[in-house]
Structure 1
């Protein structure tokens, strides 16, 4: 196993060679080396080199289907997606959240390929594991000074956006994704300031464009934002209301640009009107 220094030197060479991997290097072995360093606090190594190259290898079919399946198993393990899950403000966050992006890339390849990599049950397992991670992740930081992006909510949204497009998922699984989005939005311990809401809106858009759920199901989901319980603590409730308002406003305009059903707009307006303070009406 290479040290971070040696791996970075190799990846810099590959980057400067237009991302061409030397023939003498086993690509699958290299992918594993990168996965075991994907939680590095060196943002250039983690984000600019490992993530970039792994993504290219996955989506450009430089790894076989069998090798991609191996990467997925590693990604879903306790050593990656669930490594120190539940911890707050420590460096384990980078391992988890950048692993989530790799999972998203793997699902993207599955969806775009002429022949599917995974069975229906395998896709449903990935769906369950992503939702499990979403519930258990407690570190909500966006940008971490001197270490770069942690962005657990945004990266989770990116993976959910891909899994939502899987034709293997039906009404029940899509509704579970919508509920996970709502849970991530309706928090009171953190105010989203790094476009997490926009990334979560993309999940909803992908679900709507599948045309699997009936409009009434989506409208009821929107209206349920009226029923979120407040804490009674002014600062925390400001976070909660602000996150909810920003998300619904972003969803409104994204739907409007797509000329979606007026019923969606009416539902969003109803929620915003009922949850906005009289002082701001």
Structure 2
């Protein structure tokens, strides 16, 4: 750890001990900016259990005003955070990206409670998240020593908040669902850290909006296919494992809802083919 990171860690340990309260209201934002500068630090305790958890408390408890939240959102979505070294083969760069997207999720959740983001801003967020979803290739879950990266699951959390915003229509929801499908239908990595459950949560909330037609949902489901893959290639096996895991998660999440019986039946057909 750098000296700056050690100093920040000491500050946040004191904040945690004081039940996430600061004596001076103005210090919340200045310390929040300092946390954003270190969002991708490689110490899992500082990154996950201190920076993220502190942001969680401060955002959900209203420690930032709307202007400050928008500023933190802009930082989270910029090229040194959500898209930090996105094209590089740097195994450590993913932590900045994956934890920046969690801040986006927290701020959208706060928007849904207090309605402070303009519709135009929400569409820009949607475009940024889908671009990131497409570009991110490092989808490791738990990384030895470094801790959680979990970029796919974290992005799913942000998309879950997004699909619950009323401004998005069926075209937008299908864009998001197709992005999720593309991220689940990969063969270069097998999801082993509950990523499918986090993706399914976003899908379930999109379906609960009840603005997608039966035919649109079935067409989306039928896109979960491995027909073009070579059965002798290891990527084929990994792809099939990921698809089956996702479809099973969705199946059990919807099993008790009568209005989604047609989805259950379609998943059964797809799993038989697999």
The TM-score, its normalising length taken from structure 1, stands at 0.93
Is contact 2:20–2:58 with CA below 8 Å preserved after alignment?
no
Aligned residues: 272
8 Å CA contact retained: 2:226, 2:239 = no
Secondary structure of 1:91's match? coil
For 2:145, what is the secondary structure of its paired residue? coil
Tell me how far 1:226 sits from its aligned partner.
Answer: 3.3
Q: Which position in structure 2 is the counterpart of 1:183?
A: 182
Give distance in 2, aligned partners of 1:228 and 1:99.
36
CA distance in 1 between partners of 2:166 and 2:134 (Å): 24
Greater displacement, 180-189 / 18-27:
18-27
Following TM superposition, by how much is the alpha carbon of 1:108 offset from its aligned partner in structure 2, in angstroms?
A: 0.4
How far off its partner does 1:232 sit?
4.7
String of CA shifts for 1:137-195, please: whole Å, max 9, x gaps.
Answer: 01111111111000111111111111111111111110000101110111010000000
Q: Please, what is the CA RMSD of the aligned residues? A: 1.5
Any residues of structure 2 matched to 1:45-64 within 5 Å, and which? Answer: 45-64=46-65
Deviations 1:24-63 (A, max 9, x none): 7621111100000110111110000100111221122110
* TM-score, with structure 2 as normaliser: 0.95
Distance 1:228 1:126, change over 3 A: farther
The answer to whether the aligner puts 1:272 opposite 2:263 as a matched pair is: no
Asked if 1 retains the 8 angstrom alpha-carbon contact of 2:226 and 2:236, the reply is no
Q: CA deviation at 1:260?
A: 3.9
Matching residue of 2:38: 37
The equivalent residue for 1:210 is 209
Q: Which shifted more, 70-79 or 233-242?
A: 233-242
**Which runs of 5 or more structure 1 residues have no equivalent in the other structure?**
276-281
Shift, 1:6, TM fit = 0.8
Q: Is the 8 A contact 1:97 1:152 kept in 2?
A: yes
Deviation at 1:215, TM superposition (A): 2.4
Tell whether 2:76 aligns with 1:75. Answer: yes
**Can you list the C-alpha shifts for 1:80-103, whole angstroms capped at 9, x where unaligned?**
000001334521110000000000
Q: Cα distance, 1:216 vs. partner?
A: 2.1
Q: Residue 261 of structure 1 aligns to a residue in which SS?
A: helix
User: Partners of 1:86 and 1:160 in 2: how far apart?
Assistant: 22
Gaps of 5+ in 2: none
Aligned to 1:108: 109
